[in-house]
Amino acid sequence: MSERKEIINNRIIPWFPWIVGGIAVVVRFFYLWSFWNSHPFSQKLISDARIFDDWALRIAAGDWLSGTEVFVLPPLYAYAMGIVYAVFGHVPEMIAVLQAAAGCVSAVLVYRLGARHFGVWAGLIAGLLFVGYGPQMFYEGMLLGNSGAVFLCLFFLTLVDNTGDEVRDWRWGLAGVVFGLTALMRPNVLSAIPFVMIGVWRCSLWPREALVRAGAFFLGGLMLPLVLCGLRNGLVADDWVLTTAHGGINFYMGNHANAPGWFAAPPEVDAQITPEGVQGNYEGPKRVAEAALGRSLKASEVSSFWFSRGLDFWFDDPVGALKVTLRKVRLFMSGYEVPLNYNFYYQRQYSVLLQISKTELWVLFPLAIVGMVVAARRFDRHAVLYLWVVGYAVGVIAFHVSSRYRTPVIPFVMMFAGFGIWTLVGWIQKRQWKPLGITIGALLILWVGYRVELNGRLSESNFGLDPFNLGTSYLWANENERALALLEEAEAYKQGDASLYYNLGLAYVRVGQIGEAKKAYGEALARDPDMVRAYVNLGNISFREGAYREAITSYREALERDINSHNARANMGWAYLSLGQVGEARKAWIWVLQRAPGHPSAKAGMERLGK
């Protein structure tokens, strides 16, 4: 019987990678087909996806140095997109196809790594779990770079997980280059370097000289892409930054009093991504830092300012900082997909595949814990996997947690979960009822705990964020009817902030619903009494209605909160002129033009006065 079983296994097992890869191709084909046919987010890019698309278009048009500033977001993804656009034209669908292909290859790499460590059947289970993981499929359809980051991390671990083989210097040099490229797509990955090196040392049977040589080749390969990026930043922007200029603000977002653990911009920073710039990552933080220090700052100085503020929190309130960190640890280990720009639980309503997929983390994390506990008996053999998970987690938890940032660690959760499942199967086959019963009992407790926490998180999740972001993109494109429908959908969730009601006000004005616009702006100011732009727009409505004194009152409210609100002061000049107060109008316009000589409204006003 065992001989027959061995013959069958020998015939089937060589097909395992083809099975995993083939199922991945079929699943992703149907997902992308349904995504492009029925998903509203396939028609309009929002937030980071819009930034990367615009950036890639500039690169494809010949701006290979990408402007004159330090990189605000990790550059590798934008450059990869730019190359595709340069060859095929502006076809975002091609990016999604390539990302899905990377997802298929990643599934096979999950199988191979899992099989190498825990056996072919555990590897097969891990590969299939990865194939069916809904958030991975979803991110492969969006222009966000997650698929590339996951693939590069798996490729890197595949290269270094050869410590029982002969030392090959070229392989370690290539691993370094791959890791350096990964850092230009997901900078927090750099925290994993010492952990992986320790894992290699624990697993390796090589002599010390071979280890040192391998390490040297790896570090040399690692520095190559980082140095090239740093040279670009230094020569173009005169600011010698190795990767990007958004580390400081991201660190502060996760390290201040009452930080929730996920992306939450400081109250004084507008976190929106607008046509004028990346407010949350650079423009807003730069404005606040320069106001605090009273001088113009380089990008690296802005980042240092926010890093310092985050570190001050640790020094001033170490107990509070520890509580915030434990909150982030819990988020990282939870079964909840933490939103960042996109809420997976809102998005899956548009995809049958995402709805029926049951490879959810609240189910898999407990199984992975079983696999980790059982595999710990041979920790040295699997040290690279354990320490990769820990090292990567450190890089996320040090900043703030999101499902997008966590994805490169999920394939390794699948590997341990696959081993956990196969361990349970083995105990059943061997009729080892005692360890099976104890483990099943522990799993039930963990599953209940994970599900209860997930339900609690879902009850607090902001499902209005996605229609808000999409509606805002339509608003920028002046497609106002579509924008209004989505913004009203977002408002129906009753979770909106001042920005939602401000954008609703804009949409209502554009479709001619002035009364609703006033209510929306009033609601925005109730949530944020210092929202200058809402006062300006209320003033503009009053001006168009001929209520000039009411308009002036709104403009003054804006100027009391920001004396440099040039639009408010220039528009107030027109209100004064309409009341016949020419001297006040002239004074307002002169004040604006002294500080913003090209301001169009103030220039038009002075021309009206014949000056």
pLDDT for 9 beyond 70: no
Q: Domains plus CATH for the chain?
A: 13-243+334-460 (no CATH), 530-611 (1.25.40.10)
What mean pLDDT do residues 120-125 have?
96
As a whole number of Å, the end-to-end CA separation of the chain is 102
pLDDT for 278 beyond 60: no
Q: How far apart are CA 48 and CA 93, in angstroms?
A: 16
pLDDT band at residue 3, thresholds of 50, 70 and 90? low
Q: What is the pLDDT of residues 129-186, one digit of tens each?
A: 999 999 999 999 999 999 999 999 999 999 988 655 566 778 889 999 999 999 999 9
DSSP state of 269: S
3-state secondary structure of 270: coil
How far is C-alpha 567 from the chain's CA centre? 33
pTM of the model: 0.89
H helix runs in 119-207, sequence order: 120-131, 134-140, 146-160, 169-183, 193-203
Phi-psi region of 254 (alpha: psi -120 to 50; beta: other; left: phi over 0): alpha
Q: What is the pLDDT of residues 471-493, one digit of tens each?
A: 998 998 899 999 999 999 999 99
Which residues lie below 8 Å from residue 147, measured CB to CB, with a gap of 6+? 99, 100, 102, 103, 106, 136, 139, 140
What mean pLDDT do residues 174-199 have?
92
Which residues lie below 8 Å from residue 133, measured CB to CB, with a gap of 6+? 357, 359, 410, 414
How far is C-alpha 413 from the chain's CA centre? 20
Radius of gyration of the chain (CA): 28
Which residues lie below 8 Å from residue 563, measured CB to CB, with a gap of 6+? none
Cβ atoms of 366 and 333 closer than 8 Å: no
69 is written with which tokens? 């500033």
